[in-house]
Structure formats: C-alpha cells, structure tokens
Amino acid sequence: MRARTLPLFCLLWLASVASPAWAHHVIGIIYAEGNTVVAEVGFSDGSFGQGVGRLLGAEDALLDSAPTDEFGVVRFAWQEAAERIHVDLGGGHAITLALDSLHADRQASKAVIEELATEVPIDPAIDAALSPLSTAQLSALIEAATEAAVARQVRPLQREIAAMKEAFGWRDIIGGLGVLVGVFGFAAAYLARRART
C-alpha cells in the first residue's frame, strides 16, 4: 500500500510547492499628471511593488531613474524623447510600460486647447486678471488643470481594468480542472498498472 501512494504523494507535494510561483505577477498602469508621467506598479494579488523605475528613450537610452514609493508609484518629469518606463521590482519581477498613448493624449490635448482658445469668448474681468500671462502660459495652465482633473477621474478606472485583466476567468478554471483530471488520470493509470503486476 505504501509503495502505491508514494508517487501520488510526490505529485501532490510538487503541486503544492510549485503553486506559489503562480500566485502573482506584475501589473501596472501609466498616466500623466500635468508635466509628470506617473507609473503605478504592483502585483496581481494586490500588493504594492518596491523597486527602481527607469524612463527610457529610443534604443533603451536611459533618460531618468527613480525608486518607487511605498505604494509602487514612480514619477518622472515629461520628456518628449521618452518611449517607455521599465520598473524592476527584483526577484525576476519587472514590467515595461509604453508611453505611446500618453504621447497621443498630449497631442490631442494641445489641439483641443488651441481650438478652444480661438472659439471661447472670455469675460472682461477674467481677461484683465489673466492678461499678464502669455498665450503659451495660459495654454499650459489650462492643459495642466485639465490633465490633473481627468487623471483623478480615470485613475480608479485604470486600476479596476488592470485588476479585471488579471482576475481568474473561465479559461483558468477549465485549465485548473484539466490539470486535476490529468493528475488523477495519471494516478489511476499508475495504480491500475501496479494492480495488474
């Protein structure tokens, strides 16, 4: 009896030892706050990541580097040459986030601000208060305020979407059941073979 249960025990032990490796993986989001690029990184189990973030340009040229804070957040000043942020959390955990969407958002935001500046009539009292500012300064002020307001509203949605992408789905459940059927099938075949001999 003991010789029959040894292979089954070994399989169960291997499955229990290997399961922590599947417990989590790195997830992250990026967004802009004014002229700052922010990356939030962590693990799919909800814990925060601690590590070093690097702002990279073309051909992985290092533009800036900064550590994450206790909540897995790293911030960089906006640079037009930036293409991605790479965050290394140690222990083989790393993530690279592309800045393509932020470049497109900044271009669209500038176009909207320029269009609004030519179409919206301005109250004379507000005009007098803002007249010391140049058009470029005013555009930058409006752009920063708009980006900050949108980022505050969008950030929770980005977190939820990232968490939903990492949640278990039907595919994972069916795969887990397949593994269980395979393990029990292997054990049954082994036990049947041992019973014949």
pLDDT at 110: 73
d(CA 46, CA 162): 11
pLDDT at 55: 92
| β strands within the chain, DSSP E | 26-33, 36-43, 52-56, 62-67, 73-77, 84-90, 93-98
pTM attached to this predicted model = 0.53
- 23 DSSP 8-state letter: S
**DSSP notation for 61-98:** -EEEEEE--TTSEEEEE--TT--EEEEEEETTEEEEEE
**Number of residues written out for the chain:** 197
28 forms beta bridges with 41
SS3 132: coil
pLDDT at 12: 63
> Please, which residues have CB within 8 angstroms of residue 82's CB and are 6 or more apart in sequence?
37, 55, 56, 57, 63, 76, 99
pLDDT at 87: 92
pLDDT at 21: 47
Residues of the chain with pLDDT under 70: 1-24, 113, 116-123, 126-131, 133, 163-168
pLDDT at 17: 52
pLDDT at 143: 79
User: Which class for 68: exposed (0-12), middle (13-18), buried (19 or more C-beta within 10 A)?
Assistant: buried
